[in-house]
Amino acid sequence: MPEKVEKVARKELSRMKKIPSQSPEYTVARTYLDWLVELPWSKESKDNENIEHAQTVLDNDHYGLEKVKERIIEHLAVRNLKKSRSKKGERMKSPILCFGGPPGTGKTSIGKSIADSMDREFIRISLGGVRDEAEIRGHRRTYIGALPGRIIASLKKAGTNNPIFMLDEIDKLGMDFRGDPSSALLEVLDPEQNFSFSDHYLEVSYDLSKVMFIATANYKDAIPPALRDRMEILEFSGYIEDEKIKIAQRHLIPKQIEENGLTSKDVSVDVTGIKETIQSYTREAGVRNLEREIANILRKIARDKVEKKIKKVKVSKKKVNDYLGAPSFYSELAERATKPGVVTGLAWTAAGGDILFIESSKMKGSGKLTLTGQLGDVMKESATAALTYVRSHTDILGLEEDFHEKTDIHVHVPAGAIPKDGPSAGVGMFTSLVSLLCGTSVQTGVAMTGEITLRGNVLPIGGVKEKVTAAHRSGIKTIILPDHNRKDLEEIPEHIKKDLSFHFVKEIMDVIDVAIPDLKGKKERKSKSQQKVTS
C-alpha cells in the first residue's frame, strides 16, 4: 500500500481492536479493511512490448480496422521509448480511447485483442442504463451495505493496477435524481486527475493512471460534451463488401461450421454465396446479421445431413437463395433509363453506403417548389439553395429569366418511407434541376456527391469510402467529388479505384460540364448564334 493508505488502514485496525466483535460496527470496519488489503495497489502485470507480436495478434483476430490497429501500435512504441527514458517515480499517462461506430463492427472484441496483444488483464463493464452516481464512485460507509463503485470493484477482480478497462456503451448513460454518472466519470477519464481517483467508500486516493481505458459508443453525439472532450475518438465506419467477404472467410464461416456440428469436409461456402448473402439478405455496417444468415444456412445443411445423409455441400449463389428464400434487399441499378431531371446521388447509411436517385418534374404553375421523399431539413435547404442558384444564373444556363413565375417544380427522392438527411445532396439537386429545365439527360453511369453554397462553391463531405464502394457495386463508371475530398481516395482499395474515373470539382458549373456535356455544346451553339445576330 502507499504510505498514506497504510496509515489510514492501521488507524482503522487499531479502532477495530477496541470494538466488540458482536457489534455491527465491527463488521463494517472489517469489510472496509478487507477491501483495502485486497486491492492491487502496487501489483502490476508486465507489458509485452513486442510490437511485432501485438501486430500479429491484432491481425489474426480482426480483419481491416487499420487506423485502430495503427493507434495501438503507436501507443506501444511510445511506452517503449518513455520507459527507457523516464525518471524514477515519473507517472506514465495512458490514453483514453473511444471507439465510435455502428453495432457489430468489432468495437468490444478488439478491446479483448488489445489486452491479449499487451498481455494485460481485461475488464469490461457496461454503462448502458446506469443512472446512479454511486455505481461509479461507490456509497459512503455511513449506509448499511455500502460498497465501492464498479471501477474499484473491477480492479480488485482484475488483481492488477494496469488492466485494459472497457467502458461499454458510454453513450447510453442515464441521469436521474440519484445523480449524474457521466459527471462522476470525468475524474476517471481525465489523465490530469485520475492519478488520485477518490471513491466514496474507500475515502483514500487510488491511482488509475496506469489503467488503459477504452470506451465504446454507437453515437458519439450522445456522449456528454465534457466527457467527449477527454477522449480520443477513433471512428469505426463499418466494413465495405470486400472486407465482409474476407471476415466471413477467415472468422465467421469457420466459427459457425464448428458451432453447428459440421466440419470443412461437410460444407464449403463459395465467394458468390457470401456475396449474395451480403447483398441480398443483410444491409448493415457490421457483420452480426451476416453471421446470423451464415448460421441459418449451416443449420439447414446440418438438418439435411442428418435426415438425407447428404455428403459435402458447396454453398453457391443459387444454394443461398434456396436456403434463405426471397431476397430481403435489392440494389437499384445505376443503368436504369434516365430522363431529364433524374440524377444518381451517393448516400452514406449505417449499412455502409448506397446510391439514391433524385428526380425532378415541372408543370405549369406560379413558382412553387415541392419537396417529397422524407427529406430532413438539411436536404430541403440544399434543394432551395440549388433552385436559387439556377434562378440567379439563367443567362449562363440558357433559361428564360421569368421561368419560375410560370412553372411549379417538384423534387422527389424515391424510397419515401426512409428518412433521408445530410449535407451531400446539394450537387445532385442542382444537376437534377438544370437537367430538367434545360431538357437534357444526365450522362449514364455518372454519380455525384457534394454540398453547394449560394456562390456556387462545392463543399467537402464525409463517408467517401462507403459512397464510392456503393457506386462501384451498382455499376457506376464516373464519380464527381468535391475537390477537398481528394485525400479520401487513399482509403479506397486499389481494385475499386482502377474501375472508376473520378472528377474533382470546386465550382458547381464544373459538375455540369462532366454530368451534362451536351448542355455545354448547346451553350456554345447559342452563343455563336447570338454573335451572328449581333453582326
The CA distance from 287 to 101, in Å, is: 13
Non-local CB neighbours of 78 within 8 Å, separated by 6+ positions: none
| DSSP class per residue in 47-63 | P---HHHHHHHHHHH-S
**Under 8 Å between Cβ of 461 and 424:** yes
Distances 228 to 27, 220, 223, 233, 359 between C-alpha atoms, Å: 41, 8, 6, 8, 40
Grid cell 448564334 in the structure block, residue: 529
**Cell, residue 174:** 442515464
Give the residue among 10, 137, 117 at the shortest CA–CA distance from 61: 117
273 sits in the region (left: phi over 0; alpha: psi -120 to 50; else beta) called alpha
Please, which residues bridge with residue 98 across strands?
215, 233
Non-local CB neighbours of 446 within 8 Å, separated by 6+ positions: 344, 476, 477, 478, 479, 480, 514, 515
| DSSP class per residue in 429-493 | HHHHHHHHHHT-PPPTTEEE--EE-TTSBEEP-S-HHHHHHHHHHTT--EEEEEGGGGGGGGGS-
Count of CB atoms within 10 A of residue 40's CB? Answer: 18
The CA distance from 348 to 464, in Å, is: 8
Q: What is the distance of C-alpha 306 from the center of its chain? A: 41
Please, which residues bridge with residue 235 across strands?
100
The CA distance from 376 to 205, in Å, is: 49
Q: What is the CA radius of gyration of the chain?
A: 30
Distances 501 to 144, 338, 355, 478, 480 between C-alpha atoms, Å: 70, 20, 17, 5, 9
**Cell, residue 399:** 433559361
Count the residues in the chain: 535
Coarse DSSP helix, strand, coil percentages of the chain, rounded to the nearest 5 percent = 45, 15, 35
Give the residue among 98, 67, 113, 105 at the shortest CA–CA distance from 240: 105
The CA distance from 466 to 479, in Å, is: 13
The CA distance from 70 to 283, in Å, is: 28
φ/ψ of residue 250, rounded to 5: -80, -40
**Under 8 Å between Cβ of 287 and 312:** no
| Residues designated as active site | 424, 467
